[in-house]
Amino acid sequence: MSRTQKTGLAGSSSGPDAKKSQKRQTVLRRSGLLACVCALSFITAHLIMVLTRLLPLEDARLKTDLGGMVIAALVPMLVLAGFAGRRHSWGLILGVVVCASIALASILPS
């Protein structure tokens, strides 16, 4: 029988590993969330650009310029909102709702 007594501090060697793994998990989760949010935002932006073709304007360049102005403001907002809203994933839900509404608007006949 070993004379050394267990003090209950045996977990001290696995502490840094657990911390490291937890940190890795956090970074992975954040990166995944960012990738999802970016993908949703870019799909939304693309659909908006497609939607601008239906605008009743003569000049096609004017339409794309208008679309560019809208998406340059919207994409960073969507990315930030999607990344910030973690409680109940409301950020992701907001992104999906916006994307779905734009998709619906481009599918429905004008």
Partner 1 sequence: MRETLRVHMGWLHSWVGFLAGLLLVLVFASGTLAVFDTEITQWMQPEVSLTHSTTLTPAALQAAAQAVQAEEQKGLSAFLTLPSDRDPVLQVLHYDGYEFVGTALESTTGALVPARETAGGQFFYNFHFSLRGGNQPGVQIVTFLGFCLLVAIGSGLVIHIKALWPDLILFRPFGPRPRAWLDAHLLAGVLFLPFILFMGYTGTAIHARVLLPAQPGLPRIMAGRTRKKKPYPRGVFYRRGHYRRLLRPSSRRPVRFCKVRMAI
| Site of interaction with partner 1 (CB under 8 A) | 26, 30, 34, 42, 45-46, 49-50, 52-53, 63-65, 67-69, 71-73, 75-77, 79-80, 83-84, 86
Q: Closer CB to partner 1, residue 14 or residue 76?
A: 76
Residue 13: CB minimum distance to partner 1, A: 22
CA 60 to chain centroid: 31
Residue 50: CB minimum distance to partner 1, A: 5
Quick check: 67 and 48 in contact, CB under 8 A? yes
- Structure token digits, residue 28: 């992975």
Residue carrying structure tokens 């793994």: 21
Quick check: 40 and 99 in contact, CB under 8 A? yes
CA–CA separation, 91 and 78 (whole Å): 8
Q: Closer CB to partner 1, residue 52 or residue 92?
A: 52
Residue 76: CB minimum distance to partner 1, A: 4
